[in-house]
């Protein structure tokens, strides 16, 4: 299959591919998504097949306006409407109980709930509008590997497997959306996956507590949201997390064991360890925001490096604000392994 790059002038052509059951990757503010009509089960089945994604892993439904959600969800609560008004379009996914049979079961993983998001990217909103149907949009990559934050990443994983990629530049956030479960109308909202919309921001808007569920599903469980598997976002090369005070010990240990080491970190740490390592992917500054934006691109770049690396050391951050989203992804990429002085 030839994979075509669609620019802004050819969104209508990309939308026609979607409407006819084809797959087109699309840009968002978080990562690139693999788009198919959420109303065509055969098209959704292709998404699972192309990604190599487990069929029990539910998909997020992307809409072009909050009113589209009402087609699938009865009686949106005042809380839901407030969140949509405040954070949509944007990196917040909301899980609702849906009307029976309103979406194909292959979209929901057989659950009575579904996840919805309105992405903050004008080209993708136009794609949904012109396709005249909502889109599923898991990350446009091989399942379990680092998510794509550029067209090149999508092309690397999926060229020849999908009809096209809608060009939208590099993503500006770099980690997937916050997923908030609103399916228990009498319960407290629960974050199932942290993202750029933080627990603190949600609580400030809602003026109530929001829980953060750190539960990771086992092999036999059906996840309620994407990204809840124990190991995920992982490159082929072993990844190890390093706390700020442990960098000297970590690089000395790696040298003693003759590892070819790549490092993902901000400028301060990168400068500190550059001479002891084979390759460095430097975040554009030392903030958690920069780390989140650069994590997936850095994992991909070092994993594919010609330096022949066999260990990646990545900077750990405090789990607060967007640092919680960064560490959620990094822990899974590293299979929860921190460097510990040997």
Q: What is the pLDDT, as a whole number, of residue 57?
A: 82
Maximum separation of any 2 CA atoms in the chain, in Å: 62
Task: Please give the pLDDT value at position 217.
Answer: 55
Q: Domain check: are 280 and 132 in the same one? A: no
- Residue 151 placed within a domain: yes
Q: Which of 160, 194, 212 is where one domain is finished? A: 212
Kindly state whether residues 144 and 274 are assigned to the same domain.
Answer: no
Cβ neighbours of 126 (radius 10 Å): 17
- 242 to each of 125, 259, 317, 327, 340, how far by Cα in Å? 39, 15, 9, 11, 8
Instruction: Please check whether residue 38 lies inside any domain of the structure.
Output: yes
Find the CATH number of the domain harbouring 310: 3.40.50.11030
Residue 291, pLDDT score: 98
Domain count, the chain: 2
Closest CA to 157 of 32, 36, 13, 279: 32
Does some domain include residue 234?
no
Let me know: does 115 contact 94? Beta carbons within 8 Å.
yes
CA distance 75 to 73: 7
**Together in a domain, 297 and 181:** no
Concatenated DSSP letters of 277-323: SSEEEE-SSSSHHHHHHHHHHHHHHHHT-TT--SEEEEE---SSTHH
Compute the Cα dihedral for 16, 108, 225, 192 and give only its sign: positive
pLDDT reported for residue 69: 98
Give a yes or no: residue 223 inside a domain: no
- Could you tell me if residue 341 is inside a domain? no
pLDDT along the chain (342 residues), means of 10: 95 98 98 98 97 87 97 94 98 97 95 97 98 97 95 97 97 97 90 97 96 68 60 89 97 96 98 94 98 98 94 97 96 96 68
Q: Residue 52 is part of which domain span?
A: 4-212
Q: Flag whether 300 is in a domain.
A: yes
- Pair (197, 267) in one structural domain: no
Q: Where are the beta strands (DSSP E) in the chain?
A: 4-6, 24-26, 33-37, 60-62, 92-97, 113-117, 135-136, 164-166, 178-181, 190-193, 211-212, 239-242, 261-265, 279-282, 311-315
Residue 266 lies in a domain: yes
My answer on whether 119 and 31 are in the same domain is yes
| Prediction pTM value | 0.93
CATH number for 155 = 3.90.870.10
Whether 200 is in a domain gets the answer yes
Q: What confidence score (pLDDT) does residue 223 get?
A: 65
Q: What is the number of residues in the chain?
A: 342
Strands 113-117 and 60-62: parallel
pLDDT, position 233:
85
Same domain membership, residue 324 and residue 259 = yes
């Amino acid at each position: 299959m030839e994979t075509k790059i669609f620019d802004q002038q050819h969104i209508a052509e990309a939308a026609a591919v979607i409407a006819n059951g084809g797959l087109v990757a699309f840009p968002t503010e978080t990562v690139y998504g693999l788009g198919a009509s959420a109303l065509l089960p055969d098209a959704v089945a292709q998404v699972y097949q192309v990604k190599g994604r487990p069929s029990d892993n539910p998909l997020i439904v992307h809409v072009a306006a909050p009113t589209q959600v009402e087609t699938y969800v009865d009686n949106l609560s005042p809380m839901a409407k407030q969140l949509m008004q405040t954070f949509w379009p944007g990196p917040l996914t909301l899980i609702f109980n849906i009307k029976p049979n309103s979406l194909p079961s292959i979209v929901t993983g057989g659950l009575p709930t579904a996840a919805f998001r309105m992405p903050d990217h004008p080209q993708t909103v136009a794609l949904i509008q012109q396709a005249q149907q909502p889109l599923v949009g898991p990350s446009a990559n091989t399942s379990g590997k680092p998510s794509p934050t550029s067209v090149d990443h999508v092309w690397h994983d999926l060229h020849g497997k999908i009809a096209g990629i809608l060009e939208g530049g590099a993503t500006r956030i770099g980690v997937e959306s916050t997923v908030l479960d609103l399916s228990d109308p009498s319960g407290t909202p629960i974050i199932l996956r942290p993202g750029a919309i933080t627990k603190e921001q949600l609580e400030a808007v809602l003026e109530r507590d929001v829980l953060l569920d750190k539960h990771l599903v086992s092999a036999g469980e059906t996840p309620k949201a994407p990204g809840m598997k124990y190991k995920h976002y992982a490159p082929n090369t072993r990844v190890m997390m390093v706390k700020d005070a442990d960098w000297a010990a970590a690089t000395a240990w790696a040298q003693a064991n003759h590892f070819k080491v790549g490092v993902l970190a901000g400028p301060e740490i990168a400068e500190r360890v550059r001479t002891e390592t084979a390759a460095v992917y430097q975040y554009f500054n030392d903030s958690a925001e920069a780390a989140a934006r650069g994590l997936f691109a850095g994992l991909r770049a070092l994993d594919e490096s010609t330096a022949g690396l066999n260990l990646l050391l990545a900077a750990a951050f405090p789990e607060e604000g967007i640092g919680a989203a960064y560490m959620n992804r990094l822990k899974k990429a590293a299979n929860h392994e921190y460097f510990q002085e040997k």
